[in-house]
Structure 1
Amino acid sequence: MSHHGIDKSKLSETDIISKFVLPAIKDVGWDDLTQIRQEVKLRDGKVVVRGTVASRLKVKSADIVLYHKPSMPLAVIEAKANKHEMGKGMQQGLDYARLLDVPFVFATNGDGFIFHDKTGLCNATLETQIALEDFPTPEQLWQKFCIWKGYTEQQLPIITQDYYDDDSGKTPRYYQLQAINKTIEAVSSGQDRALLVMATGTGKTYTAFQIIWRLWKAKNKRRILFLADRTALIEQTKKGDFQPFGTAMTWSKNRTVDPAFEIHLGLYQALTGPEEHQKAYKQVSPDFFDLIVIDECHRGSAAEDSAWREILDYFSSATQIGLTATPKETNEVSNIDYFGDPVYTYSLKEGIEDGFLAPYKVVRVDIDIDLQGWRPTKGQVDKNNEIIDDRIYNQKDFDRSMVIDERTHLVAQTITNYLKRTDPMAKTIVFCNDIDHADRMRRALINLNPEQYQKNEKYVMKITGDDELGKAQLENFTNPKKAYPVITTTSELMTTGIDAKTCKLVVLDQNIQSMTKFKQIIGRGTRIDDKYNKLWFTILDFKKATELFADERFDGEPVKIINTTPAEVEDPDVNIEGDDYTPTEIDGSELIHEIPPEADGGFNNSNDQPWTDFEPTDDQEVKITKFHVNGVTVKVMAERVQYYDTDGKLVTESFKDYTKKALKKQFASLDEFTKKWNDSERKQAIIDELETAGVLWDALEQEVGKALDPFDLICHVVYDQPPLTRRERADNVKKRNYFTRYSETAQMVLSNLLEKYADVGVQEIENKNILKLEPFSEIGRPIEIVKKGFGKPADYEQALTELEAEIYRIG
């Protein structure tokens, strides 16, 4: 097939796109600037960790995405070189279409298009072939799209309102766009309650901002309240994602709601209270707000008897959107009862698979007395001369009703050893049982790290609700630019909403009963920060908490539990041990203990009991008898390391195992693999392809030992073949004496290429610029070398292919 005298079959995919595909779509009216985007990267590339090495898998980009407007993707076009079948890219295209939630996919090789139309509006056939010149116009696709979605005339202005674009190049990621679009569809069709479930670290606030922006700009919602339950969250939001609202926005402090503004940021505590005069929200009429967005709505606001629910009930005519990472379903609280089923869910597992969230490595440490229990001798007294109740104390009791100094020391020693081995400046959060425990843990860590403490006494800080000095350091801890504090000990304050992007170590020395809380704590580590080289994190678990990973509810749908367990078990569905458990805090302890001084209207919590749903501060714990002993021998019994695997399970394996598993899926046998390798004209292409399939070359080389060719690395690791080094392969080629059929110049070039292969590998000899380098440059310029030794460029390419065939010849 020729096109202006070009042999189409020789054209690359890129040429097919520029010479055939783009002209075909522009000819029917698609606008180059606003409607056509090329090379759209939808995922980031999953991070895989083994040992202390991490690597990102390579990801493909969608060749072309067509948009009605930047906020509305419509179709995916996947192109291949002309030597392929026209529909070869279809499955890849369908995968991108699923992420973008669009019904139209086109696959092409430059001869025409295979058109996949999910709407079924034209005819019953899903996939039809159309000529290049018959590509649908923007109007045709948009109309079909609207009919397929069932949009009404009234919805269109809202649906087509663009998202906010600050020209910085930041656009919503594919799942954020789906979350925004699905919420706007729901709201514009008249749905008045909506729930959005997005894993911690996936940009809930940015998504909320874009939803509010579009509804506000389309004049569909005029007065909007963004509700949160912590000062830090509102400060973060106001300075961060919500900044573009500018002067239209106000933070309702000091118990006032100022009707002059359109966008209100509000703290529950500042808008309501037990006394009538504290109910600031009543200063405006019930129909004042037409949209309320509730951040972290799993924390109490949906409970029917919650003091905070009254705000939502008062403005019940407003559209209300709840945002959460962990929908809460117990018989006291149900987000789903209140908001309805989620309009969109993006889970931790999806986030890690897509490479937007950091995977984790779990180091589980078992301490002898935790497993075997500890019993005092008869009549033994503790440090305060109290007689210790005679019973067996186990993992649940330590640092709750029984403090053993040596255990605290051992935990601190294990943390210190881990940091010294990896990176002593890695930001670390240690979750303790209560404030007293956090205090002792801080002291133990300082005593074990005197040289770090000498350098900067903020190396270890306790950050809890009762400690103003510690709380003041929270911002420095979460700021990647600030090195200190490095280690923080906490009990409740840092479980949620704290955006610690560069946190690399999460230590669990806390009895975690609740799945919601466990997910929130894990969420402290899942953010990725490429700039600061934070791609994964470690969980150091002393309390078997990570067994919750194996629970299908960890990343599954929340199930509503109806049971008759006493109310004090805060999430009765996750009593891991199955035995009685004594709560040490007021029920609701999973909520956050921070009463911002400016918000509580002078509410004095030391002697007044707060109203039901108010967050207990850290120092309002139910007092429990605590024994404090020392002189106990404590040691680590076992330590095991596991890694996050493809389906969210924890596995114990090396990079070798991981590669073996990934490749056995691709090529069942050694023959299949060698055939693919030898058929591939250039090895670089297959090396890249294997990388996309999950082979992490650097990490594998480190584990196996250096001088192996990618081919031998795979044969050895996956198919247990004895490996040949590159040098051995090169020597075998020399022995065969196959060079003699070439001219003298050609022989010189080929033997130099063989040497290069032995030194640096096959990728190097395929490098386009190799002939410009020493020793080739001594023979002449690349063009001269090719002419003198081989004739025309194609003959040189042929000789290179033959050389590679010799290198990989078997027998």
Structure 2
Amino acid sequence: MTDQQPEQSARATIDIMLAQAGWAVQSKKEVNLSAADGVAVREYWTDTGPADYVLFVQRKPVGVIEAKRVEEGERLTTHEDQAEYYAAATLQYKLNKEPLPFIYESTGILTRFTDRRDPKPRSRPIFHFHQPKILLEWLGQKESLRARLQHLPGLSPEGLRPAQITAIANLEKSFQENRPKALIQMATGAGKTFTACTFVYRLLKHAEAKRILFLVDTRNLGEQAEQEFLKYQPVDDNRKFTELYNVQRLNSGYIASDAQVCISTIQRLYSILQGQELAEDLEQENPNEQGWQWRKKEPMPVAYSARNPIEQFDFIIIDECHRSIYNLWKQVLEYYDAFLIGLTATPDKRTFGFFHENVVSEYTYEASIIDGVNVPYDVFTIETAISRDGATIQAQEYIERRGKLTRSERWQHLDEEYRYSPTKLDKDVVNPSQIRTIIRAFRDSLPTIFPDRFDGQGVFEVPKTLVFAKTDSHADDIIQAIREEFSEGNDFCKKITYTITEDPKSVINRFRNSWAPRIAVTVDMIATGTDVKPLEVLLFLRDVKSSNYFEQMKGRGTRTVNFDDLKKVTRTAKHTKSHFVLIDAVGAVKSKKTDSRPLERKPGVPLKDLLAAAAMGAQDEDLFTSLANRLIRLDKKLTDREKERFTELSQGKSLNSIARDLLAGYDPDIIEMISTQVREGNPVTDPVTDLAANPAAQERAVAQQLEQMRSQAASVFTGELNQYLENVRKIHEQIIDTVNIDTLLRAERDSYSTEKAEEVMRDFSEYIAAHKDEITALAIFYDQPYRRRDLTFAMIKEVLEKLQLERPLLAPHYVWDAYAQLEEVKERSPKEALVALVSLIRRVTGIDQQLTPYNKTVDKNFQDWVFGKQAGALKFTEEQMDWLRMLKDHICSSFHVAMDDLDFTPFDAQGGRGKMYQLFGDGMGDILDELNERLAA
């Protein structure tokens, strides 16, 4: 027996928890082991004294519970030896021959569990007691899950990148060490979901995991994960994953008993544990970036669900775990007795802390670029006067107002001066000139940024571009401006948000795989997680304060794509995607970023954030009070028709009645009334405790009724209603500023820092020097100048291909920009990467003292050669000069001209080698040799 009996309230709570989990709780005087599959007997006698609880499943003893006072929660681990002592004891009537395998220590608030069948058994915290049927199932297995994890076979590297192999191997080692949490940090585009599919398959097949949860925070990401599992095929089986295992993407509260992989948003998982249905539109936006994270003093409340017990999942994979959802949803994640695996490209300090600093993979964006998994990016800045400074509309002007909801327009006389800052743009004020000026600068800059994207008729092909807008209304304004400025139709530019009438997935698919649309405008839907590999331009028309979210948005452009796939959607592409361009029109690159976006409890919190928090079940008093006050004020501004529409969407309730319900949830008089009813009402009896005689049980009953009342008050806030309220909030209209005409201040590529430029120059020089003995072209440049006349297009292409494969960050135009930052470089980087590369190699090897485009060098050498040849009696005819210029141009782009080249373009159209012989006679061979030698000097 324990030295001191547990407090009665702690014992009563344990009894309730056992009953909730399906255990029949009995006293030692009234034992009936046939009363249920699972029986928990209090004070059951052993040869070392009475154990607090002995657990029986189908009449067989399986475990013990050591009950302790609530005050001993922090010292619960110190009682493990005592619990082990009772588990190893012989039960009355010698019902056990061996120690009992399952051991619990509990205060009723904190509970720890040990499975003695595990290798190196270690206690772990659990939310609740396990159900009897799972303990029976575990006993029927030859080994425990943690024991089975010790025997995972070696990982086949087939089809996996080195970073994926490392991540899986280290993760499985973490499992074998029985670490409860692990973090996989892997750059966007590096294949996190494919990695997850691989280790999920191995856990199901080799560790016989029962069920695995893949947790996301938006429906879009859930659909993408489902597609990854649908197309995943293991290397050791000819069947697809879904032919071997059942995958269920949850879209209701039902979790199939035969589902081995479940995909769910954390919003839906919480609603399932609450026993409530969740509208699908509440899964559209992620809980962190869209303000659903109403910061509470405590995590979201979670109660035990017998339909969804803690043992429901063996492993939980948390996709995009950097979004800090664990701050608000910590209990949701830790409700389950499962291993937690985080996937993210952009962890922060809290991410590392949550996963106990157990980082099993660190694969950065920079490393992925070096490996050729991702591509780097350039920054191009567009700045306008109004974007930077805002503007003033003078009094007495006639201004246009536009309804946010209907977009209907009307004119109004402005009584006083109206000054607006850049932060009000596209929210309270729309300046069409500002949007048009940015789009026009974007349009005019594209040929400079992508000079090789003209077709045979001189028509420029716009690269696949994704534009980030502030709101749906802003997106509509941008689309209109793009279609007008580019003189294109509807298919050229499309909106991709959850609010469009067309299926968003269909538009994304066309954007990804078809020529049109060329430009897509989004707010949040494809800001994270969605792959569109041919994307080459990201245009930011909204600022982002979250550093993690900004990195995720940039990740939309990092994906590599092979040349054939790029060519299918971008017909003028001359080579594979080597980089993408981030066009910053709002200062997003340089604006101050934070690791998170905490919501302070103050009147300035956006209504959208309050509505989303209420819809997701947050019940903070400040939230309810703030939201009620907003609704009361809004009620005075709505028209009769708008109020009617609101009532239709709110289950027949008015704004004021909903506000009253919200305020009632924390009304002291109502709380006192409920408490009195519980104390003085008819006694309610649970399976083991008389409510009227138990203060702790009374407190729980009051809390339960308040929880129910508050949930009912918030239940009206569906996605459709929230969107409607957001549209009609505060001022119904936006001011359309047609008075102030914007001006472009600058549109240019951002420069390197001096330190970065020096680093790039140094890395390029070292790379060229390191490979001079193994690459023919480099050997010629370094040590065999007499052979420069033999330098061929194929030789230079070999250098470029090796550079792209091994050091993609040293792309020629990047290195050129670095030199231009530190030296006087009169010319811009040549359009052709090969020409730029030869120019750079000549500079690095000392042939040229100043970085000069190779074609300019050839032009100069050609002029000197022609002048020298004609210094005497020899004079070239005009027809001969035309041929010599053709030969010179060929050397500019191909670095060498051979006799066989005369049979092809452009020479064949002018008569080929026969014509050259006619012009130069037997000396034509000498002419070719001289040009190759002198022009490459």
Equivalences for residues 220-299 of structure 1 within 5 A: 221-243=209-231, 244-247=240-243, 248-251=245-248, 252-273=250-271, 276-278=274-276, 282-299=306-323
State the alpha-carbon separation in 2 of the partners of residues 635 and 624 from structure 1: 31
Q: CA distance change for structure 1 residues 705 and 216 in 2, over 3 Å: closer, same or farther?
A: closer
Summarize the alignment of residues 100-179 of structure 1 with structure 2, pairs less than 5 Å apart.
157-158=151-152, 160-162=154-156, 171-179=159-167
- In the other structure, the counterpart of 1:633 is 741
Corresponding residue to 2:492 among 459, 472, 489: 459
Aligned partner of 2:509 in structure 1 is: 476
Is the 8 Å Cα contact of residues 381 and 585 (structure 2) preserved in structure 1?
Answer: yes
> Higher helix share goes to which structure?
2
For normalisation by structure 2, the TM-score amounts to 0.50
Cα pair 1:501 1:525 within 8 Å, conserved: yes
Q: C-alpha displacement at 1:220, in angstroms?
A: 5.3
SS in 2 for 1:190: coil
Where does the alignment leave 5 or more consecutive residues of structure 1 unmatched? 1-151, 166-170, 554-558, 570-579, 594-601, 736-754, 779-802
CA distance in 2, matches of 1:757, 1:448: 40
Q: Once the 2 structures are TM-superposed, how far is the Cα of residue 510 of structure 1 from its aligned partner?
A: 0.9
| Alignment of 1:505 onto 2:537 | yes
Identical-pair percentage: 20
Change (3 A) 1:432 1:475: closer
Distance in 2 between the 1:288 and 1:255 partners? 14
Conserved? CA contact 1:200–1:325, under 8 Å = yes
Cα offsets for 1:656-713 (capped at 9, x unmatched): x977983388669xx9997544599997899578645657499966579979987757
Separation of aligned partners in 2, 1:374 and 1:762: 50
Contact 2:395–2:418, Cα closer than 8 Å, also in 1: no
2:832 and 2:366 map into 1 onto residues whose CA distance is 27
Is 1:312 the counterpart of 2:333 in the alignment? yes
Query: Counterpart of 1:277 in structure 2: which amino acid?
Result: G
* 1:460–1:485 CA contact under 8 A, matched in 2: yes
Verify: 1:344 aligned to 2:361, yes or no. yes
Aligned residue among 521, 546, 559 for 1:514: 546
Cα distance 1:443–1:527, how it changes in 2: closer, same or farther (>3 A)? same
Over residues 432-477 of structure 1, what are the superposed CA-to-partner deviations in whole Å (9 max), with x where a residue is unaligned?
Answer: 1112211222222233344x31xxx322222223223262544334
Q: Distance in 1 between matches of 2:896 and 2:769?
A: 26
Q: Is the 8 A contact 1:201 1:523 kept in 2?
A: yes
Q: How does 1:473-622 map to 2 (within 5 A)?
A: 473-480=506-513, 482-530=514-562, 531-533=565-567, 534-547=577-590, 567=600, 585-586=608-609, 609=714, 621=726
Q: Is the 8 A contact 1:186 1:194 kept in 2?
A: yes
- Of 433, 437, 444, the residue aligned with 2:470 is 433
Q: 2:480 aligns with which of 443, 451, 465?
A: 443
2-structure distance, mates of 1:259, 1:223: 9
User: CA shift at 1:484, angstroms?
Assistant: 2.7
Q: Distance in 2 between matches of 1:719 and 1:182?
A: 49
3-state DSSP of counterpart to 2:264: strand
Question: Contact 2:843–2:851 at 8 Å: present in 1 too?
Answer: no
Note if contact 1:756-1:764 (Cα within 8 Å) is conserved in structure 2.
no
CA distance in 2, matches of 1:260, 1:588: 36
| Counterparts in 2 of 1:364 and 1:588: CA distance versus 1, 3 Å | farther
Q: Which amino acid aligns with 2:214?
A: F
Distance 2:720 2:546 in 1: 17
3-state DSSP of counterpart to 2:484: helix
Partner amino acid, structure 2, of 1:638: R
Alignment of 1:633-672 (within 5 A): 633-642=741-750, 662-663=764-765
Q: Is the 8 A contact 1:197 1:327 kept in 2?
A: yes
Once the 2 structures are TM-superposed, how far is the Cα of residue 581 of structure 1 from its aligned partner? Answer: 9.2
Partners of 2:379 and 2:394 lie apart in 1 by 36
Q: Does the aligned pair in 1 maintain the 2:352–2:359 contact within 8 Å? A: no
Separation of aligned partners in 2, 1:707 and 1:225: 50
- Give the whole-Å Cα distance in 1 for the aligned partners of 2:744 and 2:200: 52
Once the two structures are superposed, the pairs formed by residues 320-339 of structure 1 within 5 Å of their partners are: 320-329=340-349, 334=351, 336-338=353-355
Alpha-carbon RMSD across the aligned residues, in angstroms, is 5.5
Pair 1:368–1:810, CA change in 2 (3 A): closer
Assess if the C-alpha contact under 8 Å between 2:394 and 2:418 holds in 1. Answer: no
TM-score of the aligned structures, taking structure 1 as reference length? 0.57
* Structure 1 residues 266 and 704, CA gap change in structure 2 (3 angstroms): closer
| Partner SS for 1:240 | helix
Match of 1:195 among 183, 205, 220: 183
Closer, same or farther in 2 for the Cα pair 1:810/1:186, shift >3 Å? closer
Q: For 2:510 and 2:415, how far apart are their aligned partners in 1?
A: 39
Q: Which residue of 2 aligns with 1:358?
A: 375
CA distance in 2, matches of 1:325, 1:224: 22
Alpha-carbon contact 1:500-1:524 (below 8 Å) kept: yes
Query: 1:769-788 alignment to 2 at 5 Å?
Result: none
Contact 1:382–1:388 under 8 Å retained in 2: no
* Pairing 1:710-789 to 2, within 5 Å after superposition: 715=846, 717=848, 719=850, 723=857
Deviations, residues 80-122 of structure 1 (Å, cap 9, x unaligned): xxxxxxxxxxxxxxxxxxxxxxxxxxxxxxxxxxxxxxxxxxx
- Unaligned stretches of 5+ residues in structure 2: 1-145, 232-239, 279-304, 402-411, 451-459, 568-576, 617-648, 659-712, 771-777, 804-809, 817-827, 871-885, 905-912, 914-928
Partner of 1:406: 433
CA distance in 1, matches of 2:379, 2:761: 20
Following the alignment from structure 1 to structure 2, what is the Cα–Cα distance between the partners of residues 613 and 313?
27
Closer, same or farther: CA 678–418 of 1 in aligned 2, 3 Å: closer
Contact map agreement 1:429 1:490 (CA 8 A) in 2: yes
What secondary structure, in the 3-state scheme, does the structure 2 residue paired with 1:383 have? strand
Residue aligned with 1:586, SS: helix
Note closer, same or farther for the CA distance 1:496–1:612 as it changes in structure 2 (3 Å cut): farther
Which residue identity is paired with 2:765?
Answer: L
Which residue identity lines up with residue 258 of structure 2 in the other structure?
A: A
Larger Rg: 2
Change in 2 beyond 3 A, CA 1:446/1:401? same
1-structure distance, mates of 2:615, 2:484: 30
User: How big is the shift at 1:191?
Assistant: 1.0
Whether the 8 Å CA contact 1:478–1:498 is kept in 2: the answer is no
1:368 is aligned to 2:365: no
The CA deviation string for residues 571-608 of structure 1, in whole angstroms up to 9 with x for no partner, is xxxxxxxxx99857427999999xxxxxxxx9989987
- 1:793 aligns with none
Letter of the 1:586 counterpart? D
Paired letter, 1:372: D
Amino acid paired to 1:313: E
Give the number of aligned pairs.
562
**Equivalent AA in structure 2 for residue 629 of structure 1:** D
Distance 2:148 2:222 in 1: 33
Asked if the contact 1:395–1:543 (Cα under 8 Å) also holds between the matched residues in 2, the reply is no
CA contact (8 A) 2:181 2:358 kept: no
1:718 offset after TM fit, Å? 5.4
**Structure 1 pair 615–289 and aligned structure 2 pair: CA distance change class (3 A):** farther
